[in-house]
Chains A and B, each alone.
Chain A
Amino acid sequence: MTEGKVLKLENIETGYRGVQVLWGVNVDVGPKEIVAVLGPNGAGKTTLMKATMGFLKVWKGSIIFLGRDITKIPSHERVKLGITLVPEGRSIFPNMTVEENLMMGAYMYNIKKDHRVIEMLEVVYNLFPILQERRSQKAGTLSGGQQQMLAIGRALMTNPKILLLDEPTLGLAPKLAGEVLNTVAKLRDELGLSILLVEEKVLLATNIADRIYIMNQGRIEHEFLKEDLTKKEEILQKYIGF
């Protein structure tokens, strides 16, 4: 059923220069839902994110956002509709200050005149008080965890309805990784956002996800519904089992 879904990826097939990576992937995300796609390195998770965002042309299948087919819409237009991505490897602007980074995120709006910009900045600072504390500091001087928060904060400045997160815990110590994922849960609980999360840290992701897909070699191999998420061992087994 398309109805009620925020994002539906239907039978996605794509790849790079003729080399197919995704083989008929079906993933959907409902309102205020965190859906995690878990899979080992090279499974095709980033490729799925790129296709959803429009960085990569989809060969077959379609992308439905709020009931509308956006398969052929360019990425910057998708952002305007309310989809945005925090790419793998926290690509913040290191030589700009924290606040300049956030304002860059508000690029689509008239920064001086649009009251939404100030509102969104306030939302971000409420979520991440540390960013407000360090607002005039160069972003490159932040710790890894803080940089990830900044990357998420900057994405929030586009005022999205759904946020795509590509391995937000990459390279973070377990404790910090947990903290970052807890703030991801806050995005759902406090802002009502839908989230498509890609992760390799299985157990941490199951703590916050409402639903899980296990991906391997470009295919979705299992889906765990909310009620199954307590069976962590089984999830882990499916994940490692390949």
Chain B
Amino acid sequence: MDFKKYYPLIPMFIISVILLAVRLAAPELSQIVSLALFYVALGEAFNIFTGLTLYVCFGYVAFVALGMYGSGLALKYILATSNPPLVTTILFSFAVAGFFAFILALVVGSIGLRLRGAFFAIATVGLSEGLKNFIEGTGIWGGSSGLIIAGDLISSYGHETYVFVSTELADYLMFAVYVLSLLVMFLITKSRFGYGLTALKEDEDVANVMGVNTVRYKLMTFVISAALAGMIGATKMLKDLVIYPPQAFAISYTVEAIVITMLGGLGTVTGPVIGGLVYSILKYMLTVSFPGLQLLILAPVLIAVCVLFPYGIVGWVKRRFRGTLIDYLLV
């Protein structure tokens, strides 16, 4: 076996361990760490589709939102019908979250991914708003008054467990989803599938005449990415334990996912990790020091960074140290 190709996992492992250690050792930083974990996971999941294919889904937040709803409904359902151990409840709600997002991506992708690049992006603009309006309009899943899960959790497991789930467990589950996304992305780039995607990303027609089933490849990255986004939603649901359509379907998440992957390095494995960390720290600091003005300051800074580093931070470092160990280990 060729172990060398797994060496880039070492720096990823170190970064991840540091992140986890900070969360464990410094509970006073838990607020910023959980923010960071959310953005890192979101960026990585988003990157699996957009970074590998250069297709953008402007309704991406719909998968996170559907994951929130899926897991919330699953949790409510399972606790209403039986009283299983917490682990079972959580695993079940994660599975449902991933499945909901997967199905939505399968439907949207099967139709939309026959379109090329920009046309697909335009076609997905209305996805999240449409879904939100549907929920609010028809009143399903709590409609515009939202879905409150906290009560179900308290009545089944007690107040202590409820606090533990939303303040502790949710963070570690987010960490787990982040690690899963990172590994999936890494394994894809090292596989034959990733090889075909490289061609697809460069030139879809050429990939096709090399025998790559481009529609299926795009669809596969899309559903994988969406299922992970759904699990991010499940974690977010456990953290908030309440789902309101405007927050669940906040367009800012899609925009932030784009910014994070661009900032870190689109299509690189570690890019969204770096991008997510930088972004969340910046956002947190600005929110603390200039409350209300954070976006006004953040936007020009991010535009400047994207112009100065068109290949993202990781892309820039790789180019700067081309051919060295750093270039090799940083993927």
Q: Determine the residue in chain A with the shortest Cβ distance to B217.
A: A76
User: Which among B103-111, B183-191, B201-209 touches the partner chain?
Assistant: B201-209
Contacting pair B205 A107 (CB below 8 A): no
Task: Please tell me which one of the listed residues A55, A76, A85 contacts residue B212 in the complex, with CB atoms under 8 A apart.
Answer: A76
A residues 44-62 near B (Cβ < 8 Å) are: 53-55
Q: Which of B196, B206, B209, B211 has the most CB of A within 10 A?
A: B209
A108-B213 in contact given A55-B205, A87-B205, A91-B203 (Cβ < 8 Å):
no
Q: Does B180 contact A (CB under 8 A)?
A: no
- Which residues of A are found within 8 Å of B202, using beta-carbon distances? 91, 93
A79 to B196, CA, bound (A): 14
Cα of A155 to Cα of B213 in the assembled complex, Å: 16
Residues of B within 8 A of A84 (CB): 209-210
In the complex, A112→B171 CA distance in Å?
42
Does A104 lie at the interface of the complex (its beta carbon under 8 Å from any beta carbon of B)? yes
Q: How far is the CA of A108 from the CA of B208 in the complex (A)?
A: 11
* A75–B208 CB distance below 8 A: yes
Which residues of A, 81-96, contact B by the 8 Å Cβ criterion?
A: 84-87, 91, 93
The answer to whether B209 and A107 have CB atoms under 8 Å apart is no
* Complex: A85 Cα to B206 Cα, angstroms: 8
Residues of A within 8 A of B286 (CB): none
Supposing A93-B199, A107-B196 touch, asked if A76 and B208 sit within 8 A by C-beta, the answer is: yes
What B residues does A80 contact at CB under 8 A? 211
Interface SS of chain B: helix, strand, loop or mixed?
A: helix
Query: Does A107 lie within 8 Å of B208, measured CB to CB?
Result: no
Q: Mark B192-203, 1 if CB is under 8 A from A, else 0.
A: 100110110011
Check A79 against B208 for contact (C-beta < 8 Å).
yes
Q: CB distance B205 to A108 under 8 Å?
A: no
Q: Nearest Cβ distance between residue A92 and chain B, in whole angstroms? A: 8
**B254 within 8 A of partner (CB):** no
B212, A158: Cβ atoms closer than 8 Å: no
Of all chain A residues, the one with the shortest Cβ separation from B208 is A75
Tell me if B261 is interfacial: C-beta within 8 Å of chain A. no
Contact indicator A79/B209 (Cβ below 8 Å) = yes
Please determine whether A91 and B196 come into contact, CB atoms closer than 8 angstroms.
no
- The interface residues of chain A lying within 8 Å CB-to-CB of B199 are 93, 104, 107
A87 with B206: CB separation less than 8 A: yes
**Contact (A91, B211) CB under 8 Å given A104-B199, A107-B199:** no
Decide yes or no whether B214 CB sits under 8 A from chain A: yes
A155 to B211, CA, bound (A): 10
Does A105 sit within 8 A of B, measured CB to CB? yes
Interface residues of A in 66-119 (CB under 8 A from B): 74-76, 79-80, 84-87, 91, 93, 104-105, 107-108
A93: which B residues are within 8 A, CB to CB?
A: 198-199, 202-203, 206
* Alpha-carbon separation in the docked complex, A79 to B199 (Å): 15
B residues bordering A, Cβ < 8 Å? 192, 195-196, 198-199, 202-203, 205-206, 208-215
Can you sample 17 A-B contacts with CB below 8 Å? A55-B205, A75-B208, A76-B211, A76-B213, A86-B209, A87-B203, A91-B202, A91-B203, A104-B195, A104-B198, A105-B210, A107-B196, A107-B199, A107-B211, A107-B212, A108-B211, A158-B210
New A-B pairs, 18, CB < 8 Å, besides A55-B205, A76-B214, A158-B209? A53-B209, A75-B208, A76-B211, A76-B212, A76-B213, A79-B211, A87-B205, A91-B202, A91-B205, A93-B198, A93-B199, A93-B203, A93-B206, A105-B210, A107-B199, A107-B210, A107-B211, A108-B211
